[in-house]
Amino acid sequence: MGFRNIIGRRLGLGLVRRRKPFSTATCDGDGNGNAKSINLYSAINQALHIALETDNRAFVFGEDVSFGGVFRCTTGLADRFGKARVFNTPLCEQGIVGFGIGLAAMGNRAIAEIQFADYIYPAFDQIVNEAAKFRYRSGNQFNCGGLTIRAPYGAVGHGGHYHSQSPEAFFCHVPGIKVVIPRSPQQAKGLLLSCIRDPNPVVFFEPKWLYRLAVEEVPEHDYMLPLSEAEVIRQGSDITLVGWGAQLSVMEQACNEAEKDGISCELIDLKTLLPWDKETVEASVRKTGRVLISHEAPVTGGFGAEISASIVERCFLRLEAPVARVCGLDTPFPLVFEPFYMPTKNKILDAIKATVNY
């Protein structure tokens, strides 16, 4: 909490299908052909501008968001849309999410920011016992589907154990919410707009390591990317690699190194972890016969374990080797020893070779 103060104060009744989209635009094209090279935090900022501009029921709130937030993702929003729609909250994550649930239940688009994903735990009860069950317990008479919770997650090189955690697996155990993690600026903008407009509450984790590091061409127009659809971002024939968020760039580096040794890797970005796209992963594993999953969160109980179990159930007779997992260690996230904790390119490359040569 000290670091947070220093840097600025820090179709059942569970999930439903979208009835009517707010936008039919996709990322495949811009009517004007306009795209701009921007980083990930700027893409998030664009998405929030569009969400507020296209829906006067949308509100952005959280700690320090009115002046731009710690990572500047909300810069300019209060000036443009006013402090009645973009406003600061007290330092109380439980209150932030609880307020968001009530706001969404009244038919609004509540976009709540948790300053660091590490501090989402005080809001766990509100997310798990209230937001996720709101529709179900009312027999679909009421819902808080307009709620989106943004939170920067993951390693940043110097965050230590209170500003580096990856808590996605905790929420993947909860029917009634969606969990989404983008890998790049273009993905972040399109997925965030989809989350905001989705008729279900969503937890949207943003890889803070990539806020300024990841830069690519992003269409300036309003577009959405589909949720619960994984993407094969690299074709291969020898082994399937599955990941999400910032870990994708590390895995891609390992794929490039493996290619030098004649190993063809297929790389899949899951994008939505709950509910996740089992069919795309299964089709890839049936082709390659091998699979490796990698994430920053500790290996025990990480979401990679769920993927592993599902693949064994669905593809057991097609597997040529045990499912490999290259993840964070089962320790609190360290400060000085972060390089040893992280699932690095070399760890992944070693696991690729061991799996292919099994």
How many angstroms separate the CA atoms of 100 and 270, rounded?
Answer: 27
Q: Report CA dihedral (269, 271, 276, 280) to the nearest 10 degrees.
A: -30
Q: How many angstroms separate the Cα of 329 from the Cα of each of 53, 65, 343?
A: 43, 33, 8
Amino acid residing at 335 = L
- Would you call 105 helix, strand, or coil by DSSP? helix
Length of the chain: 358
Active-site position among 93, 130, 206, 296: 93
Picking from 226, 218, 228, the residue whose alpha carbon sits closest to that of residue 47 is 218
291: left (phi over 0), alpha (psi -120 to 50) or beta: beta
Backbone angles phi, psi at 4, to 5 degrees: -65, -40
Q: How many angstroms separate the Cα of 357 from the Cα of each of 322, 344, 351?
A: 11, 20, 10
Across 248-271, b (16+ Cβ under 10 Å) vs e yields bbbbbebbebbeeeebebbbbbbb
CA 242 to chain centre: 14
State yes or no: is 173 an active-site residue. no
Q: How many angstroms separate the Cα of 273 from the Cα of each of 116, 232, 260?
A: 19, 15, 31
Helix 185-197 crosses helix 40-54 at what angle (to 10 degrees)? 30
State yes or no: is 93 an active-site residue. yes
How many angstroms separate the CA atoms of 177 and 171, rounded?
Answer: 8
CA R_g for the chain: 20
Active-site position among 163, 252, 282, 296: 163
Q: Which residues are catalytic?
A: 93, 163
